[in-house]
Amino acid sequence: MEHITLLALPSSLSTSISLPLEILTAANQLARSKNRHLPKLSVDIVAKTKEPLQTSGGLSINPTATPKDVSQTDLVMLPSLWRNPINVVKQHQLLLPWLQQMAKSDSVICAAGTSSYFLAEAGLLDGKPATTHWRYCDDFAKRYPKVELKREYLITQSNSIYCAGSVNSIADLMVHLIGKIYGLHIARQVEAQFSPEIRRPFEDHAYAELESTPHQDETIIEAQEWLRENFQDSVSMQQLASHLDLSLRSFNRRFKQAVGITASEYLYQQRLHNARELLRTSNLSIHEIATNTGFQDSSYFCSRFKQSMRQTPMAYRKSVRGKLFKVV
């Protein structure tokens, strides 16, 4: 990712502009500290004019471009809107063809809160899943019956279009995107910096269309489901491959081709994810967590955890639970 575009409107919630910008900038800086050949992130703040504007909270923003100045970008971030969103959409109809152009150019488009109205008004959500701020779900459903509104999800994905139902969900979505762009190590470091005690993993509360998954190999999808359900057990990839009527060599080749990582690394990610959740939410000992998540022993678990998270399991537990349980 080289260029991102953040839309600014007078009715914007400023945190829905500043938070993704800060998170993505932090990720880019971390990634460049490890690989100097990566390009520095270029940012445009787009508004109707380049004149300074005030957001709903009174924060002054200096736009750097207008929609006509941005014909191509890697990511478009639409801010959450204060009060009735349809009034804002009517006042900014000229944004609709620009958003359609961005979608055709394969930009990733993320709508925070009620800015999903812009995407629906532009026809970009027809026949696709979407979400919006809970207060406006009924109005959204009536106004855009062609959209598959997912009330129970805070985040939805349809190919390169994402909707986040609230400002609080933006951090979750940004960490997810960082993992896809820069890798899990960078995503974990950014997550640790931006309130890990309140963040929920993208997969836990996001709805993604089946066709938006990175592959359609049904055999490997079955393998992924099996690994997610049996991560706590001793797993033999040879036995799994045989169960799927594949040689181990063919299984490993197809799995990496479809998922992008080896089956062993995928299994490790499932174990790490569940270990993190137990560290957050349980009082189990480190040894018990290692045992319950399929690691060989607590020493091996601690070593792998520190390698991935850049801190020990105990340090991680203290960082994510300190604020949750501190009484002042």
pTM for the model stands at 0.67
Give the pLDDT confidence score for residue 212 in this predicted structure. Answer: 42
pLDDT higher than threshold 60 for residue 316? yes
Q: Among the three residues 211, 239, 254, which one is the final residue of a domain in this structure?
A: 211
70 with 186, same domain: the answer is yes
What's the whole-number mean pLDDT along residues 255-283?
A: 90
Phi (first) and psi of residue 60, to 5 degrees: -90, 130
Cα angle 280, 284, 290; round to 5? 90
133 with 196, same domain: the answer is yes
Give the pLDDT confidence score for residue 142 in this predicted structure. Answer: 96
Residues whose CB falls within 8 Å of the CB of residue 19, separated by 6 or more in sequence, listed in order: 167, 170, 171, 174
Residue 327 lies in a domain: no
195 with 223, same domain: the answer is no
Highest mean pLDDT among 48-57, 189-198, 203-212, 277-286: 48-57
Residue 205 lies in a domain: yes
Residue 288 lies in a domain: yes
Mean pLDDT of the chain: 88
118 with 66, same domain: the answer is yes
Q: Which residue has the tokens 């340090």?
A: 315
pLDDT higher than threshold 70 for residue 299? yes
HSE of 8, CA atoms in CB hemisphere, 13 A: 29
Give the pLDDT confidence score for residue 217 in this predicted structure. Answer: 85
Give the least confident one: 188-192, 225-229, 300-304, 312-316: 188-192
Give the least confident one: 19-23, 196-200, 221-225: 196-200
90 with 176, same domain: the answer is yes
Task: Please check whether residue 150 is in contact with residue 129, taking contact to mean a CB–CB distance below 8 angstroms.
Answer: yes
**Residue 27: both structure tokens together:** 């990720």
Dihedral sign for Cα 183, 184, 185, 189, please.
Answer: positive
Residue 81 lies in a domain: yes
- Determine what percent of the chain is predicted with pLDDT higher than 90: 66
151/41: higher pLDDT: 41
225 with 161, same domain: the answer is no
Highest mean pLDDT among 52-66, 119-133, 205-219: 119-133
Measured CA to CA, the distance from residue 71 to residue 88 in angstroms comes to 23
Measured CA to CA, the distance from residue 296 to residue 292 in angstroms comes to 10
Task: Please check whether residue 112 is in contact with residue 16, taking contact to mean a CB–CB distance below 8 angstroms.
Answer: yes
What's the whole-number mean pLDDT along residues 6-14?
A: 93
SS3 52: coil
What is the tens place of the pLDDT at every residue in 50-69? 999 988 888 899 999 999 99
Give the pLDDT confidence score for residue 327 in this predicted structure. Answer: 37
Q: How confident is the model at residue 201 (pLDDT cuts 50, 70, 90)?
A: low
Residue 74 lies in a domain: yes
- Residue 88's CATH number: 3.40.50.880
pLDDT higher than threshold 90 for residue 129? yes
Q: Among the three residues 155, 179, 211, which one is the final residue of a domain in this structure?
A: 211
Q: Residues in the chain, how many?
A: 328
103 with 233, same domain: the answer is no
231 with 308, same domain: the answer is yes
Q: Among the three residues 211, 231, 265, which one is the final residue of a domain in this structure?
A: 211
Question: Residue 222 to residues 25, 44, 211, 258, 272: CA-CA distances in angstroms?
Answer: 37, 42, 16, 12, 20
138 with 228, same domain: the answer is no
| Total structural domains within the chain | 2
Residue 65 lies in a domain: yes
142 with 224, same domain: the answer is no
Question: Residue 256 to residues 177, 223, 267: CA-CA distances in angstroms?
Answer: 20, 12, 12
pLDDT higher than threshold 80 for residue 140? yes
221 with 143, same domain: the answer is no
Q: How confident is the model at residue 319 (pLDDT cuts 50, 70, 90)?
A: confident
Residue 279 lies in a domain: yes
Task: Please check whether residue 114 is in contact with residue 78, taking contact to mean a CB–CB distance below 8 angstroms.
Answer: no
Give the least confident one: 45-54, 70-79, 307-316: 307-316
239 with 267, same domain: the answer is yes
What is the tens place of the pLDDT at every residue in 57-115? 888 999 999 999 999 999 999 999 988 999 999 999 999 999 999 999 999 999 999 99
What's the whole-number mean pLDDT along residues 263-271?
A: 93
Extended beta strands in the chain, E state: 3-7, 42-46, 53-54, 60-61, 75-78, 108-112, 129-130, 148-149, 155-158, 161-164, 206-208
Question: Could you list the residue range(s) of the whole structural domain that residue 40 is in?
Answer: 3-211
Question: Residue 321 to residues 172, 199, 200: CA-CA distances in angstroms?
Answer: 18, 12, 14
Residue 328 lies in a domain: no
Give the pLDDT confidence score for residue 324 in this predicted structure. Answer: 44
- Residue 249's CATH number: 1.10.10.60
Measured CA to CA, the distance from residue 107 to residue 184 in angstroms comes to 22
Residue 42 neighbours by CB distance under 10 Å: 13
